[in-house]
Amino acid sequence: MHFVVCAKQIPDPETPPSAFKIDEATNTVVPAQGFQPVLSQYDGIAAEAALQIKEAQGDDAKITVLSVGAESAQAAIKQVLAMGADEGVLLQDDAFEDGDSHTTAKVLAAAISNLGDVDAVFCGRQAADWDVGQVGLLVAEALGWPVAILAKDVEISDGSMKTTRVLADGFETVSQGLPAVVTVSNEFGEPRYPKLQQIMQAAKKTVTTMTHEDLGLDPSEVGSSGARLKLEKLYIPQSDSQVEIIEGETPEEQATNLVAKLVADKVL
């Protein structure tokens, strides 16, 4: 079987708020000093799901990591390779830049078609930068495959995929025929820690790079030209909350003072 894991490299989500800056002229996040871009954590979880299935199936399964991004995204691909994926393809092209979920999905779907024999695609529940959560669905639509989102468990056997999905008030188990797409939620569990041997092997692997020409895509349908959503403004919300620290000599006094405030504000 052949599985694809979609991996995205993002600005470090753990950048402290004080170091999080936006260039308002370009509507982009200014890379914080001392913070390297990282693999979106949910994609690591998706990779873990694919790896567990591969392990359950034995050696005849293969995992290819795809990433749309800049040269630096090689690091994200290598990270998934170190976890145990087999091959990596970086979809890198100036024409792919400044796209939206739709164009990203278009590029990924083209690459998946290009691979030819893919049985299942694993995506993170959302990218931890834009927090959108569409790409998996859009890849599925582009390929005409069924999709299950927010999976906390995935099994693949006998040509079908069975997923347990996280709902607002519980879980649902669904099954779909292959090929299919799944987006994996954090409830699945943490990604594995790579073995050093695999880190070394991953370092030696070559990541293939593909452009719009390799994928047979027209530059006008990808990147900023193909985007359907236009980012008008990216900004840091102004916090208008001025905290009032409740004073008091003892905890009891603090508690009484707080409750008095809540009553005055008609919350209680």
**Binders in 176-215 for another protein, by CB under 8 A:** 176-177, 185-187, 190, 192-197, 199-200
Which residue, 105 or 215, has its beta carbon nearer to another protein?
Answer: 105
Q: Which of 10, 19, 11, 26 is nearest to 233 (CA)?
A: 26
Site for another protein in 25-54 (CB under 8 A): 29, 33-36, 38
Alpha carbon distance 37, 67 (integer Å): 14
Closest CA to 186 of 150, 217, 223: 150
Per-residue CA distances from 151 to 22, 100, 177, 186 (Å): 33, 23, 16, 9
Instruction: Give the binding range for another protein (CB under 8 A) out of 7-15, 63-71, 85-93, 209-217.
Output: 7-15
CA pair distance 124, 136, nearest whole angstrom: 8
| Residue 79 backbone dihedrals phi, psi, to 5 degrees | -65, -40
The number of residues that bind another protein (CB under 8 A) is: 92
Nearer to another protein, 64 or 126 (CB): 126
Q: Tell me whether residue 8 is exposed, middle or buried, using C-beta atoms within 10 angstroms of its C-beta: 0 to 12, 13 to 18, 19 or more.
A: buried
Q: What are phi and psi of 149, to 5 degrees?
A: -110, 160
**CB of residue 2 vs another protein: minimum separation in angstroms?**
20
Please report, as residue ranges, which positions from 150 to 169 form the binding site for another protein (by CB under 8 A).
150, 162, 167-169
16 vs 38: CA distance, rounded Å: 15
Which residues in the 93-112 window bind another protein by CB under 8 A?
100-102
Q: Which range, of 66-74, 88-96, 172-180, 212-220, touches another protein by CB under 8 A?
A: 172-180
Closer CB to another protein, residue 150 or residue 156?
150
Can residue 230 be called a binding residue for another protein (CB under 8 A)? yes
119 binds another protein (CB under 8 A): no
Closer CB to another protein, residue 70 or residue 199?
A: 199
Q: Which two tokens stand for residue 139?
A: 């890849």
Closest separation in Å from C-beta 24 to another protein: 11
Residue among 20 and 214 whose Cβ is closer to another protein: 20
